[in-house]
Amino acid sequence: MRSKCLTVLVLFLLFCGFVLLRCYHIKPSSHKILKVVEADEFFIDLNDDNAIGEDEHFKLKDVIAYKPYKNKKTDEIVVSLGLDIDEYLKAGFCARQWAIRNLSDKNVYIESKLPLFNKDKPIRCIKIKYNNSDLGEFLLKNGLAYLYKETKDTDYLELYNPRQVKLNALEISKIPFYIVNLRNDTVHKINCEYARLISNAAIISKKYLNNYKQCSICFSKNSGFDLKVLKSDLFYPKTLSKKFGNIELFLINPLEFSRPNDDCKNVFCRAIIREINRSEKSIDIALYGMGSQKDIYNALLKARERNVKIRTVVDYSKNMDTVYPNTRKFIQDFNSVTDKNEIIMHDKFFIFDNKKVLTGSANISSTDSGGYNANIAVLVNSSKLAEIYKTEFEKMYLSKFSTFKQKTQNSSVSVDNSIVNAYFSPQDNILESVILPEIKNAKKEIFVSAFYLTDKTLINELINAKRRNVNVMVLMDSVAANNFKDRVYLLRNNSIPTIVENWGGKNHEKTIMIDTKVLILGSCNFSKNGFIKNDENVLKIVNPEIALFYRDYYLFLFNSIDKKFLNYIPRAEGIESKNSCFDGIDNNYDGKIDKEDEGCRINK
């Protein structure tokens, strides 16, 4: 009796073991993939009945294939992987097409233990072998998948290949792809800025194009992205300066330094100190603020010690020390006159001994005169021009700012082979009297480099110039571009190549070059406030030699930026903007610096 019971117990245990093995492990025989959902998701014919069962739905363990569609989480994933959205979608297209062609109706081996089937979580995660290779390893090596963020598989960690993802995207770029908005079935060109705003989208090839309604903007006859972008083989490693007789032009190169500088390390900053040290009688200064530029500050203190008369006008702001930390001290040390209101006194000019004028787009700060941002400045040796600037300075020194100033008289002077005209905001109506007439008269090309380009009248005139076959190119700062994306879209959708910098430092220029003849520069942003409200100054220099020198430099700057930013807008502080995550400043003014900013965080 006892032996019978023991026999029954052994048989029962053997039966239970068989059931458990059946539930947890598949015998090492192959099973056919009945349907490919994605490169990491499929239905496998466990029962060998050639029919899809509810317990035959599987995903790869630890590996996530790229998908040819995007949702609300995709943007976050793309940033964490260091990819662009089009690279992610193209990788998804490659992954799906490879899986459909190579896995459909093919036999695979299940390597891992098989979890129990649960109707509440019907998709089970497994590892499988295809062609005697681990499928997850294959996808990772070939840039078709990335790792699940919580994976502990050290072998997989070493196989992730983002470089191959980019190569794949580049390889198939010749194939025309389109983005479909899954909510309204509208198809966009892949480089349409509106496509980036879609939360639920998929990528399709050209053969499916007629299945969807087309975006009225990126498919319009006037849109197109076959843009005329002039190339440049020139390379300028440092800030440039060149003399044209009594005019010295400074082009402050944002590629020279990887972070702001408190010391005078570039030729422009040293030129300011040179002119301060040479001054014998007077220096009149109008500044937006005084940043951390101890060499310039000390040079001014020493000039005063040798009895040089220094008068200063400075913008007033409740938060003046936030960006320019020495402004209050500067006002106290030099008894500065301020505008005493929140309207901006935005000038940046020096008058040395009533003989020379130094002006441009650069503030006295660690980012501008320190050489981190792109800027332009000019030193003009002309007592007549100095007189014009001194008249403007006297108005402000007598506390007449903004609309309380009278129109400038006799603003044109001849300097060697150049005609130089000075204009001041708001009284001289810079937009109507200077900029628009020059754009309307342009015959061949207009190159714009702008911190802020927001005035729609100016933008529309650039579009009109483009329509009469003038080659218009625009280089914009990423802060302004992110704040005014509609202006960027307007320019791009009218076939004007508009590139947004990703240097880290800003494009702080406010410059227009026309027909290699006219160069317009100064402190004035191309905005409504700049034209009709702020205190600003602008020079128009007519000299083909000077314009050509700037033209070559402009094309160098334009071509230093990745051409994908002709279609996309990089964040001012993010991994796509070179130095912005390591430069120690708040590039996008959100109160977060470097890796505190979401754009600089990389999830590993």
Looking at per-residue pLDDT, the higher value among 265 and 73 belongs to 265
Q: Give residue-wise pLDDT tens across range 382-406.
A: 999 999 999 999 999 999 999 999 8
pLDDT of 347 > 90? The answer is yes
**One domain, residues 445 and 319:** yes
Mean pLDDT on 75-100: 80
- Asked if residue 158 and residue 193 are part of one domain, the reply reads no
pLDDT for the residue 219: 67
Residue 7: predicted pLDDT: 59
Is there a single domain that holds both residue 194 and residue 162? no
Residues 168 and 206 in one domain: no
Q: Which amino acid is at 449?
A: S
Residue 17: pLDDT above 90? no
Domain of 150?
33-175
Looking at the 3D structure of the chain, how many domains does it have?
A: 3
Query: Could you read off the pLDDT of 442-495 as tens digits, one per residue?
Result: 999 999 999 999 999 999 999 999 999 999 999 999 999 999 999 999 999 899
Written as six digits, the tokens of 130 are: 């295809």
What pLDDT was estimated at residue 24?
Answer: 45
Strand runs (DSSP E) across 1-132, as ranges?
A: 31-38, 41-44, 57-60, 63-65, 69-70, 107-110, 124-126, 128-130
pLDDT (0 to 100) of residue 224: 38
- Looking at the fold, whether 395 and 504 belong to one and the same domain comes out as yes
pLDDT of residue 2: 55
Q: Which residues lie across from 474 on neighbouring strands? A: 448, 498
The region that residue 575 occupies, defined by phi over 0 for left and psi between -120 and 50 for alpha, beta otherwise, is alpha
> Residues 250, 392: one domain?
yes
CA distance 339 to 196: 43
In terms of domains, do 170 and 184 share one? no
Residues 335 and 357 in one domain: yes
Render pLDDT for 223-262 as a digit per residue (tens, 0 to 9). 433 455 676 667 777 889 999 999 999 999 999 999 999 9
C-beta separation of 524 from 422 below 8 A: no
| Predicted confidence (pLDDT) at residue 297 exceeds the cutoff of 90 | yes
DSSP code of residue 112: S
10 within a domain of the structure (yes/no): no
What is the per-residue pLDDT for 92?
Answer: 85
Residues 169 and 197 in one domain: no
Does one domain contain both 189 and 155? no
In a domain, 202, yes or no: yes
- Quick one: pLDDT at residue 222? 41
Q: pLDDT tens digit string along 113-166? A: 888 888 888 899 888 888 888 898 888 888 888 887 666 665 666 666 767 777
Q: Are residues 496 and 472 in the same domain?
A: yes
Q: Answer whether residue 25 is part of any domain.
A: no
Residue 26 has pLDDT above 50, yes or no: no
SS3 126: strand
Same domain, 263 and 332: yes
